[in-house]
Amino acid sequence: MVAMKTFFRLFAVTPSEPKLLVAQATALTRQVPVLYAILGVNTLALGVTQYGIAPDWLVLYPLVVLLPVCLIRAITWARRTKLELKPDEALKRLQVTNRLTAILCVAVAGWGVVLWSYNAPSSKTQIIFFLAVTMISCIFCLVHLRSATLIIGAVALPLAIYFVMVGHVIVTAMALNFLAVVAAMMFMQNVFYRDFRNLVQISDENKRLANLDMLTELPNRRCFFSGLAAKIEQHALTGTPFTIAMIDLDGFKPVNDTYGHQAGDEVLREVGRRLSSTMEGIGWAARLGGDEFGLIFHDVADERGFGHALCHTLSRPYVLRNTTAEVRASIGLAIYPTTADTPEQLVERADYALYFAKSHHRGTAILFTAQHETDLRSQSLIEQTLRHADLEAEFELVYQPIMDVTSTKVVAFEALARWDSPHLGRVSPMDFIPVAERSGLIQELTRSLFAKALSALEGWPEDVALSFNLSTCDIAAPAAMAQMAGLITSSGVRPERILFEVTETALMRDCADARQSLMSLKALNIAIAIDDFGNGYSSLSYVHKLPLDKLKIDRSFIADVATDQACRDIVRSIVDLCRNLRIACIVEGVETQEQMLVLRSLGCLFMQGYLFSRPMPLAEVAAFLKACDQSDPLHRGDQLTSAA
């Protein structure tokens, strides 16, 4: 009984390998129309040769049935060539093909046998030729479907035996030859089918690997975007909402740089495990690259609450081999279709929400809102205007002094960019600099402004330096650093008079690359300062690794320094750090005489802020320097502030 079931299973299409079923049906869409064309031509040719030999009804009736069937089936298969099949559809199509193969084989073989009896021995060979060519052609066209070729072989075997038994020597030889060719074709089909099946499995595995991130075993960037497009297409008809999230790890680079890449890889693997566990039943996660991840999920009532819970999950300590790492996550969320209805727009808005989270509420989840849409449109307008702006004509620099409060002298001016657009009017640096960074325009803008600053520096006293801000994109590009160094060399300005300011965020994007860029500047005797120190990671693990000359204490610690003991303690700690590292400390945001006196008592020697001067155009710098030489600017703070 078991043997009988196994035998009959050879002639059936089984659903055990869905990928193989789809591959077989796809291949047959190109071959089955050819099969029906051959079958139609051969039956027509046989009918023409048998007309007048066999009874008319025996010739014409089969043609009336077979030719329309061949035409209809050929057209049906040809129309399916570009359709994407699902496994259940492919199974049904292959099962129908099996049944039709059996029916047509028996019908054509029976027709040939009946016609045989009406032919003279000399013309009987034409019937054998017709049957042999037709069956061999069908085997060739159905080579991807083993069950169908076995059905043809099962019909061909008794047919050949019949001709051997009833024919003369020539007919017997032709029948045996036919049987041998069919047997050879069946053997080759079995070899081809086995190779085809293995190829499908390999192709499926390659496709899986092409869409898999090997480190975290999550879907990769390619899979995420193709899955998002498919998800939108699926939900387009019903409008059912779903949410995507863009995730960026905060503090991952310090882990990578401090503990090594193996530790960083283990953190990423653990992030993948936590995301997979969280997404179970509601969606899936993908690694987009580096420390960035993407999510697609649904059936969540409170997207913000889910995002905050996910931030908490990802901020739990990561236990490594010899230590414990602290990493947080910022998340940007966007909802389909209320936020956007295309993959590109949806990702763009989730990215913007992520950018907003990292800029304003690091370590939290931000849902893209109508206000963000307004801001995004505004930034898009700024970007388009910036792309067509005349950098030389529209951008200028203003200069704010950095004072030595012990000697009441100006030690440097910080160059600050200003943009007066003929189309947008005055645009704040807080608006156009982030746009320039995100759009890739910042390096060209930096070069243009730095050339202007160098030109201004040439007219200042030799003991006055220039402080100039570099962006994250500048630090990350060795070519940009080389161009900046080239501008200094060609200007003839002593490199010692240049101070480049970089933010903690810029340094922590990639501490190793940042160190390499800064070392190349340091080799030219250019000074390096960390701007807004204390507002970012403030990790001692990188402060001592980088070639720093100064730290600029963030203004957020200065506003309440005269009244808040905690602020004073923080400032004192940073001053002590600078003293121990033998680097200078500059205080930003000094606005009152009281703040200045408290800071000076804490050991702060260099200060900058409205107490001394607001940023001024280049034309006023000379007068300010002259006034400083003639009087004590520390007693002129209130006058300068009110005058500005």
The radius of gyration of the chain from alpha carbons, rounded to an integer in Å, stands at: 40
**What is the tens place of the pLDDT at every residue in 322-339?**
788 889 999 999 999 999
pLDDT for position 536: 55
Burial, 318: exposed, middle or buried (Cβ in 10 Å; 0-12, 13-18, 19+)? Answer: buried
pLDDT for position 204: 62
pLDDT for position 464: 94
**What is the tens place of the pLDDT at every residue in 361-417?**
888 999 999 999 998 899 899 999 999 999 999 999 999 999 999 888 999 999 999
The encoded tokens of residue 48 equal 């023409």
Helix extents (H) in 472-603: 472-475, 478-491, 504-509, 511-522, 540-543, 565-581, 593-601
Bridge partners of 319, per DSSP, are 324
pTM over 0.85, yes/no: no
Look up residue 619 and give its DSSP letter: G
pLDDT for position 469: 93
Look at the block and give the residue holding tokens 């409170």: 302
Distance between CA 474 and CA 447 in Å, rounded? 10
The encoded tokens of residue 396 equal 């200028």
Q: Are 287 and 220 in contact (CB under 8 A)?
A: yes
Give the DSSP H or E segment for 59.
Answer: helix 56-79
pLDDT for position 483: 87
Distance between CA 350 and CA 356 in Å, rounded? 10
Q: Are 186 and 254 in contact (CB under 8 A)?
A: no
Give the DSSP H or E segment for 153.
Answer: helix 146-166
The encoded tokens of residue 99 equal 């049944």
Query: Of the candidates 434, 430, 500, which has an alpha carbon nearest to the alpha carbon of residue 473?
Result: 434
pLDDT for position 543: 72
> In terms of CATH architecture, what is 221-368?
2-Layer Sandwich (3.30)
Catalytic residues: 588
Give the DSSP H or E segment for 495.
Answer: none
Q: Are 548 and 539 in contact (CB under 8 A)?
A: no
Distance between CA 170 and CA 121 in Å, rounded? 10
pLDDT for position 457: 94
State which residues of the chain have pLDDT below 50.
633-634, 636-644
Q: Are 73 and 36 in contact (CB under 8 A)?
A: yes
Domain positions in the chain = 10-209, 221-368
